[in-house]
Chains A and B, each alone.
Chain A
Amino acid sequence: MTIVSTADLLAILPELLVMAGGCLVLVLDPLTAKDRKDWLAYFSLAVLGAAFVVGYWFMGALTGSPRPAFSGLYVLDAYGAFWKLLLILVSGLVILLAKAHLKLEEIDLPEFYAFILLSLSGMMVMVSGTDLLVIYLGLELMSLSLYVMAGFKRYAPRSLEAAAKYFILGSFSSGILLYGISLLFGRTGSTTLAGIRDGIAGLPPGDPILLMAMGLLVVGFGFKVAAVPFHMWTPDVYEGSPTSVTAYMAVASKAASFAAFLRVFLEALGGIKESWRMLLVAVCIATMVLGNVVAIVQTNIKRMLAYSSIAHAGYALIGLVVADAAGTASVMLYLAIYAFMNLGAFAVVTMLRRGGLEGDEIDDFTGLARRNKWAALVMLLFMFSLAGIPPTAGFIAKFYIFMAAVGANMTGLAVIAVVFAAISAYFYLRVVMVMYMKEPGETAGTPGYDVRVVASPAAIAVLLVAALGVLILGVFPDPLIQAAQSAILPLK
């Protein structure tokens, strides 16, 4: 009895590589001498490199028809390959960033790399699964690794608090998601996305249990992408976690959750599009309003970036609400560009040190241009991009999202988004203002209070990639746009 064919195993080759790499790091960790632990970071990077090459090869070979694997539980398509390449790239940059940052925070444990690899394999499963069971397992593998990573600085009360809050609210939301999946299974008799789509077609319109299941799925995925009103965990968890973990959560876990969100809602629940569209428009507007308005009053840069990431989830949700080819492509483009600019902003935060601590207050950026003009310059670039000011990539991302909304006759939504994007410029430009327009405060030079920039080669490499990404994609975005457009989900 053959259940799994070689073609099936080949389809999950990148996932297998990353998973095996994660397990190997755990096995090798106790066997490596203390002064050789850096090799485990290089080993993880090599694993990611191999997975990237395989994924790239898939992406090239796959434009066209999706290939189902594992009897329809999994699919090898350009959509999944696009997200996988993005997630692998982000994970590699986070490992580079963490290598320097973990040493500064004195939590330089190789388990970090194992958790990155394991959580990445969960995300990769999540973006390619076509069965709710597979998607749920990937989501949990991602989340469980992230819960631990949030508490990675395990002697710091803030980090522990972040881990506890993230764990409680995260598993609460996956419980709700699972209940939604169970109702969906009961109503349609299937857990595969295609089976659910067929099942919904046979149900009367406005079936109450189906609508309830849909609502519960919105809650579950809304938590993972940090949409209002399911965003409560975001500011605390982003603030308390070590910054390299925050960067990973803000970029990779959000991208993977959006990928699964889109796939589930467009492929399985496409038949009741009108019902979830109303709900999501409300969520989307609330997310943009709350994220942008509350970010204005923040004094901690990580908290501000957390609210900014909530607001960006709101913009990306527009692409889902639009629910057509242009919408899907614009979400993919948005999150790819968002990955570069957000990762860059967090990378600057990791390099700023106040005494033995991280300089994560906005006040610590005061007069940064005088202390280190390069750090201030890249931070300016990332802030401009997050605010969506041309010629940075952030502008292109927002432009395509708004155009998708206009193209689908949702001009009202686009107008609201533009208004709040303009409001968001206030708090992004405030960081630029304190960096350039103010002198370093009187604490400058005081031991224990002085802010300095600690640059390591790895962190500089991350900043370079992020800054070049933001600049090049801002001026010359066509390759990425074409990649996203050729990788959209086949809409039914």
Chain B
Amino acid sequence: MIPLSYYMILSAIVFVTGVVGVLIRRNIIMLLLSIELMLNATNINFVAFSYYLGNIAGQVFVFFALTVAAAEVAVGLAIIIALYRGKATVNVAELNLMKW
């Protein structure tokens, strides 16, 4: 049996990849994908904990987290489309009308 800590390390690596992606990437689509990575790292955690604790609540949480992630992608894509129509860019460095 694979120890729980392996799953936790995997999910931590995926999560940190997502966080670093959000911090260093400049293309807003890549930011969206990095955020998805963070959410999926969470899902790995939930499923692993749920299996090892014998508690189904974690898997239920994954269902809802997946749905929320989908809704987030839809809203994010809508905002990116509107942004591209208005400013013809998907580069966050060019979002500089107001200082960050």
Contact = CB atoms under 8 A, between A and B. Distances in A.
Contact of B46 (A148, A151, A171, A185): A185
Interface string A237-259: 00110000000000000000000
A191 B98 contact: no
Main secondary structure of the interface of B (DSSP, over half): helix
Nearest to A300: B98
B82 A185 contact: no
Contact of B100 (A151, A163, A190, A232): A232
Interface string B29-50: 0011001001101100110110
Given A147-B75, A164-B83, A186-B49, A176 B99 contact: no
B55 to A, nearest CB: 6
Interface string A170-212: 0110011011011101100111000000000000000000000
Contacts of A144: 71-72, 75
Nearest to A233: B100
A105 interface: no
Contacts of B79: 147-148, 151, 160, 163-164, 167
Contacts of B98: 158, 161-162, 235-236, 239-240
Contact of A148 (B28, B64, B75): B75
Contact of B87 (A140, A157, A182, A191): A157
Contacts of A155: 86
Interface of B: 8, 11, 15, 18-19, 22, 28, 31-32, 35, 38-39, 41-42, 45-46, 48-49, 53, 55, 57-58, 60-61, 64-65, 68, 71-72, 75-76, 78-80, 82-83, 86-87, 92, 95, 97-100
21 contacts: A133-B60, A133-B64, A137-B68, A157-B86, A160-B82, A161-B83, A163-B83, A165-B100, A167-B76, A167-B79, A168-B32, A168-B35, A171-B35, A178-B39, A179-B41, A183-B45, A185-B46, A186-B8, A189-B55, A190-B57, A236-B100
Interface of A: 133, 136-137, 140, 144, 147-148, 151, 154-158, 160-165, 167-168, 171-172, 175-176, 178-179, 181-183, 185-186, 189-191, 232, 235-236, 239-240
Given A133-B57, A148-B78, A185-B49, 8 more contacts: A163-B79, A163-B83, A164-B80, A168-B35, A179-B45, A182-B42, A182-B49, A191-B57
